[in-house]
Amino acid sequence: MRNVLVTGGAGFIGSALVRGLLEQPDVRRVMVVDDFSTGHEDNLREVADRVEIHRGDIRNYATLERLFDGVHVVFHEAAIASVPKSIEDPRLCHEVNVDGTFNVLQAAVDQKVRRVVFAASAAAYGNAPELPKREDMLPDPRSPYAVHKLAGEMYLRTFWESYGLETVALRYFNVFGPRQDPKSPYSGVLSIFADRLLAGKAPTIHGDGEQSRDFIFVENIVQANLLAARSEKAPGRLYNCGCGGRVTLNQVWDAMQRVAGVNLPASHGPDRPGDVRHSQADISLARRDLGFEPSIGFEQGMQRTLDWLRASK
């Protein structure tokens, strides 16, 4: 891969990916572009002397064109990754998630980047009842965020077919792990639960808690990105990135209480607009084409996340 760039590289997933890239023997130069609206400099502090960090906004094409010069692979992680925020401010989220993705692709073509790996979202599947979710299923986006991510996938395919830019879309399911800020409005449910647990407080679960998710530890996502950047079968394709199972939110909280040895019954609030009811990935295509096999399961990942939160307090 030699020279690589991560958009949103100071964020939760982006910073984990940066660490993974630094461990690759064929990577010589790692660059990050981030506007630090949700990313944090602390996420990169311990590797800052090995990474070129640039403050920039993906809505600014000129910034991307300048930074992409000489880059071989771009990992596009930058986004406003929040269903509620996309409902509250759809125009801003469209500008970042759709216009920003277009800028990444256009700059990649103009600067002759070889491949772009894109953080897509399982939100594109919506509430279709069939489980597990397969890549060939008809999308059913139920929020502006889901529409934005689906539009990004379609742009990727178009740039592959029209310009020969190698593109790979990875539909992330529910990612969790260290450096996911539990105080952020964009944070995932598991990190929020973990933060409440360590504070000795019960969470409020939206709805009845029987909604289910395919939780995947962030290091598994890093592995999927590295495989997608190298696979000869990947260009022009879309792959699910989950673990292939599902857990209800009630089960998540029960498991956390068992690990911590506490009893803190959760309260329940109203359903959250735009949320899907159930989500589970069929990862057979990623397994076949990429050799993707999640190596860290839910409970092991949950323990690592709790340990990190304890150490960071």
Could you give the 3-state DSSP secondary structure of residue 162?
Answer: helix
Contact 83, 147 (CB under 8 A): no
> Two tokens at 179?
């450096």
Sequence-ordered list of residues with C-beta below 8 angstroms from that of 79, at least 6 positions apart, any chain:
8, 96, 97, 100, 119, 148, 149
Whose CA is closest to 244, among 177, 297, 191, 193? 297
Angle at 214 between CA 228 and CA 171, to 5 degrees: 30
- Give the phi and the psi of residue 24 in degrees, each rounded to 5: -85, 125
186 given a catalytic annotation: no
Beta 115-121 vs 73-76: how paired, if at all?
parallel
Catalytically annotated residue among 61, 125, 145, 239: 145
Active site residues: 145
